[in-house]
């Protein structure tokens, strides 16, 4: 008998129940390993052995040389995140070598505190335990409802409560798969639960390849934006010293992989609206609404181009981090803060929106005593536009890494939003419900 589910059993099978009760509870099994000595079975495959559906061979470094050029020898990065991914690869190879994880029987979506067939809940528990999800709530379960003696196969159909500990484990799983953490097992959550372990291995392997391909450029201090993981991390040597959520490009407006340097910050930036966005979105809005340009602070320049003045309605927000590149991609603030509440955040036209721009600016300017965090905020509040050169340009890498270790030490497996790993149909979480702010916040820029 497990701690997540309790079965209502007919008197004729009491003896069988006593045997089952002697099995160790999955709830008290040890947490997933995070050190090499605990990273799965002893017969786990070596970390350099790629899965059958590994990332494509052309997944080279950002700004890579042409395909016919002789590739440079790759090196292993000196980075904590990379080492943890190697351990995760070994652990999941052990799961694959043991036959994968249990299958959850079909049925209606399972909602917290409701009652379902015990066999489904037991299968859900075993599936989650295969990855180390065991819940954190010790609240007692309610007793199962006794089956009717006249019901066929009453013991197998006995209903059990989908209780707090199992709900907690499901929410942890949903968080680590970039899904809404509501504890409901259905829709995208069920799709992710029934995906084979090889799907996770493919994403781990793809991420490891991106680390190795770019290792030569990732040393000292640098910024890493993991595109499908929707996260920015500032590294100093092996470890991240600052992390924050980001918003990246929609599948039709993909954020490209690139490596460059942030050279300066623009405080209270204006926005030169790209012609493609002006023609497809801005101009049609102005034709329907004669006051649109005035309300949004949009002006038509002499050459016919459009720009938007600095201010609270400017999609760039109050700070813009410039890394000159031919893709015209940069990092910036956003007035659409509600978008960060979504676990999967592919909403932009390709640029990267950062949740904590003032924190990032303070870090980048920490070598200049004139620019404290308070001084940055004061300059923002003034409303004046100003370019501030960094004391030292900061390397930034935008890379497609669909697997990484979270701050809580658990492996996070992101949706393959651009279908680069080969997981077609690997959908992300639903977009949050629109708000009044969304009326003037399209997916720019």
Provide the greatest CA pair distance for the chain: 89
Question: Which structure tokens are listed for 337?
Answer: 């803060």
- From residue 236, alpha-carbon distances to 22, 79, 233, 239, 340 in Å are 50, 10, 10, 6, 25
| Catalytic residue of the set 160, 332, 349, 397 | 332
State how far the Cα of 184 lies from the Cα of 129, in Å rounded to an integer.
17
Q: What is the C-alpha separation between 25 and 1, in angstroms, rounded? A: 7
Query: Of these residues, 160, 349, 351, 397, which one is catalytic?
Result: 351
Token reading at 169: 């484990």
Q: Is 351 a catalytic residue?
A: yes
Give 352's DSSP letter.
E
Torsions phi, psi for 209 (to 5 deg): -65, -40
- CA 349 vs. chain centroid, Å, equals 18
Identify any residues that bridge with 386 across adjacent strands, giving them in sequence order: 267
Angle between helices 164-176 and 187-194 (to 10 degrees): 80
CA 8 from chain centre, in angstroms, equals 40
Active-site positions read 332, 351
């Amino acid at each position: 008998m497990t701690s997540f589910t309790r079965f209502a059993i007919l008197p004729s099978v009491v003896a069988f129940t006593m045997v089952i009760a002697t099995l160790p509870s999955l709830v008290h099994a040890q947490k997933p390993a995070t050190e090499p000595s605990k990273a799965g079975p002893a017969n786990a495959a070596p970390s350099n052995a790629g899965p059958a559906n590994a990332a494509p061979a052309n997944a080279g470094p950002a700004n890579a040389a042409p395909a016919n050029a002789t590739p440079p020898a790759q090196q292993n990065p000196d980075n904590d995140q990379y080492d943890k991914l190697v351990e995760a690869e070994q652990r999941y190879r052990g799961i694959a070598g043991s036959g994968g994880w249990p299958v959850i029987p079909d049925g209606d979506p399972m909602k917290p505190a409701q009652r379902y067939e015990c066999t489904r809940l037991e299968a859900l528990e075993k599936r989650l335990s295969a990855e180390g999800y065991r819940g954190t709530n010790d609240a007692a379960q309610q007793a199962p409802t006794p089956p009717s003696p006249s019901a066929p196969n009453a013991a197998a159909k006995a209903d059990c409560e989908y209780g707090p500990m199992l709900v907690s484990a499901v929410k942890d799983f949903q968080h680590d798969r970039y899904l809404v953490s509501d504890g409901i097992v259905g829709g995208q959550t069920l799709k992710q639960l029934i995906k084979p372990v090889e799907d996770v291995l493919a994403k781990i392997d793809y991420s490891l390849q991106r680390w190795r391909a770019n290792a030569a450029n990732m040393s000292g201090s640098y910024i890493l934006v993991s595109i499908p993981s929707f996260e920015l991390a500032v590294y100093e040597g092996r470890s991240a010293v600052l992390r924050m959520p980001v918003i990246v490009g929609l599948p039709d407006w993909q954020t490209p992989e690139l490596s460059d340097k942030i050279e300066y910050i623009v405080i209270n930036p204006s926005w030169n609206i790209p012609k493609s966005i002006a023609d497809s979105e801005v101009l049609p809005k102005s034709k329907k609404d004669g006051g649109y340009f005035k309300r949004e602070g949009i002006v038509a320049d002499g050459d016919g181009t459009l720009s938007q003045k600095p201010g609270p309605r400017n999609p760039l927000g109050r700070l813009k981090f410039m890394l000159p590149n031919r893709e015209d991609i940069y990092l910036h603030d956003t007035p659409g803060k509600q978008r960060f509440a979504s676990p999967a955040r592919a909403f932009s036209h390709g640029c990267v929106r950062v949740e904590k721009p003032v924190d990032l600016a303070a870090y980048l300017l920490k070598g200049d005593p004139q620019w404290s965090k308070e001084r940055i905020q004061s300059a923002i509040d003034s409303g004046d536009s100003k370019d501030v050169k960094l004391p030292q340009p900061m390397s930034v890498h935008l890379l497609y890494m669909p697997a990484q270790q979270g701050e809580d030490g658990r492996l996070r497996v992101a949706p393959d939003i651009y279908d680069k790993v080969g997981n077609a149909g690997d959908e992300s979480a639903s977009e949050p419900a629109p708000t009044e702010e969304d009326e003037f916040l399209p997916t720019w820029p």
